[in-house]
Amino acid sequence: MNMIETTDLGKRYGKSWALRDCTLTVPAGHLAALVGPNGAGKSTLMNMTAGLTVPTSGTATVLEGHPAGSTAALNGVAFVAQDAPVYKNLSAGDMLHLTRNLNRHVDTAFARARLADLGIPLNKKAGKLSGGQQSQLALTLALARRPRLLILDEPLAALDPIARQDFLAAVMTAMADDGVSVLLSSHQVAELERVADFLIVLSRAQLQVAGEVDDLLAGHRLLTGPTAEADDCASRVTVVQTRRGEAQTHLLVRTSDTSAPMPPGWESHQVSLEEVVMAYLRSPGVSEPAAPTRVQRPQPTEATR
Amino acid sequence: MSVLTLPAQPGQDTAPRPVPWRRMVWVTWRQQRATLIAVPAVLAAVAVFLVIFGLKAHHDYAALVNCPINQGQQSPACAKLFSNFNSGDWPLGNICAILMQLAPVLIGAFAGAPLLARELENGTYRFAWTQGLVRERQAIAKLALLGVTLAVLAGAFGVLFSWFFQPFLWTEQMNRLTETVFDTSGIVFPAFTLVAFAIGAFLGMLFRRVIPALAATLGVYLAVRLGAWALRGQYPVTVVTSNASQFTKYGTPSHPGFPWILSTWVTGPGGQPASPSVANRILNGPGPSAGGSVPPGYTEWNRWIPLSHYWPMQFIEAGWLLVLAVALMAGTVWLIRGRAA
């Protein structure tokens, strides 16, 4: 049961690649967070997954093997693009009717009830709604399609903190009630930590890391030790990021064995998702080799603890 | 079809389905409401004017035609009617005729260029094209619905204009085959409107910007129009006659029958082309068509199109214009399929 599968997926605009060689598998039932700096290829990946952009190379399938953009895929995938595009000259009610006419099944009763809850009048022009209300309108229309996969491109950007919480709560409710899988891109790493259980990091048009959050947290450690021995220590493990101080150096490393013995003077700490994300974002050259296989490196032999 | 080889999955719609026309009528109406109100409103306003002014022109023309002509000489009263018609009715009629030339490209460009370019400019294509109905089908439905609507409106308007322009044909020495008259009548007028709309939609999808697409539409449409004028003489409806006397050059109100002469040449006694000096003398003198005669042994030839060939010409021209419009629309759909974002 894979919600999203991409194989060597790439998109080139002119001479530059917006995304290349992206091979990725997201199982069903997750809220997958897609993070990366601006221009890393997040929107490109989402647009191709939603069937909006035609790949230059590779393939993208959704909902257990349906090509992105096919009728079956379109019927089961709802996409809220960046800035939540709505027809500004149409009323919220017209937007709902439009959605109804462009889809086979739309739960209009649900949409009306949700818009009423949100205090969005049906007769108000979408362009006259606040940014947050436009986002909520777009999310409501997407949820009313009863999708199996919901793709949200930077949905939190236009929202204030309270609206952000409400928005994420609505997404979580849909996941719990209808089993919707979600792919969500955002810069709000701290906010994602609370909701995401799958993480995808993109940087410079390349996939850096993808995996379940629990596995990623278990698979990364922060090693702290004397700077003089940093190079020696770093040569024995896969270092994602190095923060070198005068006396102490912090190495964020990839490891599967948390009980492995440490060199003298070194300590191993658990990491938070935000630390993992930030480490990858600050080291755009590092990418995970073959996704599911864990990297095994020779471990230090001397015990310290 | 990959769609048919997929395993059946409960709760999923994988079967291809026809365009839901009834729903797309609502979608097209709601999204193109400005166009669909503005175009008929402007046409209706102009139509009211054409009816009022047309009735006057027809009245003046009837008086003019009924004025007795003795020995080919107009009476002063008739001459006055004639000059009144030329100075009073024709200037306005002329303006209407010029505007009518522009009508297809104005209707087509302003309805066609923004159709997709506006969605791409505003980013709303990201909403529309990720709904359940595949975007190519949405585009086909919109292009067909708007195209047919505009063509029908233009066709009806062309009929009204043809009635309006009737009085001016004889007085301005035109007929139904005159380029500007032929363009604005029959089924060629709606065909030009449809082509302008298709050019606008195609260039809108190509440029993804409304204003450049609008400007380019005017240019491309002009090229198509001039191309049609150049091609028109090549349609297989021409007739070649020698020493023709069966047509008169200027016609009468009851027989506004001067044909469209494409070329004229003179041959000598042996069938060889006459020397330029002889040919010029014959052609510039009162030839057979003007009641004169050709020197013995020489023959004046005319390649021309009789007025009766108006409808065959209309069908030929409207036919290739329709093919062009459908090709442009197919190109538009092809661009939509492959060039999103």
Among chain A residues, CA nearest to B134: A71
Confidence of residue B7 (pLDDT cuts 50, 70, 90): very low
Closest by CA position to A213, among listed A195, A190, A188, A186: A195
Query: Which of B130, B333, B336 to probe the A interface (max A CBs under 10 A)?
Result: B130
Q: Which residue spans within B146-298 are E strands per DSSP?
A: 239-242, 260-267
- Alpha carbon distances (Å) from A265 to A244, A261, A270: 15, 11, 17
Closest Cα in chain A, distance from residue B23 (Å): 5
- H or E stretch including A20? strand A16-27
Interface test with A, best of B9, B37, B131, B335 (most A CBs within 10 A): B131
Sequence-ordered alpha helix ranges (H) in A17-160: 42-49, 71-76, 92-101, 108-118, 131-144
Q: Which amino acid is at B54?
A: G
Q: How many CB atoms lie within 10 A of CB A197?
A: 14
Chain A residues in contact with B340 by the CB 8 A cut-off are 47, 52-54
Cβ of B3 and A101 within 8 Å? Answer: no
pLDDT digit string, tens, across residues B103-118: 999 998 999 999 999 9
Residue B322 to residue A106: CA distance in whole angstroms:
38
Query: What tens digit of pLDDT does each residue of A6-53 get?
Result: 999 999 998 999 999 999 999 999 999 999 988 899 999 999 999 999
Does the ipTM surpass 0.85?
A: yes
Does the pLDDT at position B309 exceed 70?
A: yes
Distance (Å) from the C-alpha of residue B175 to the closest C-alpha of chain A?
47
Tell if the CB–CB gap between A83 and B31 is shorter than 8 Å: no
Q: Residue A290's Cα: distance from chain center in Å?
A: 19
Largest interatomic CA distance in chain B: 91
Tell me the C-alpha distance between A55 and A12, whole Å.
8
B271 touching chain A per CB within 8 A: no
Give the tokens for residue A189: 């790493």
DSSP B86: I
| Residues A63 and A73: beta-carbon distance below 8 Å | yes
φ, ψ of residue B142 in degrees (nearest 5):
-65, -45
Q: Mean pLDDT throughout B73-87?
A: 82
Chain-centre distance for alpha carbon B248: 27
Distances (CA, A) of B161 to B136, B155, B166, B184, B188: 36, 10, 9, 8, 13
Mean pLDDT over A256-280 rounds to: 80
Which pLDDT tens digit goes with each residue over B167-199? Answer: 888 778 788 888 889 999 999 999 999 999 999
Q: What is the arithmetic mean of pLDDT over A112-119?
A: 94
Residue A235, pLDDT > 80, answer: no
Query: What are the phi and psi torsion angles at A103 (to 5°)?
Result: -135, 155
Q: Which of residues 130-169 of B touch A (CB under 8 A)?
A: 130-134, 138
Strands A181-185 and A149-153: parallel
Lowest mean pLDDT among A75-79, A93-97, B97-101, B295-299: B295-299
The domain segmentation of chain B, as residue ranges, is 20-67+77-235+311-338, 239-307
Query: Is residue B47 over pLDDT 90?
Result: yes
- Of B226, B309, B224, nearest in space to B260 by CA: B309
B20 and chain A: CB distance < 8 Å anywhere? yes
Closest CA to A250 of A232, A264, A265, A230: A230
Smallest Cβ–Cβ distance between B341 and the set A53, A70, A103 belongs to: A53
Helix (H, G, I), strand (E, B) or coil at B285: coil
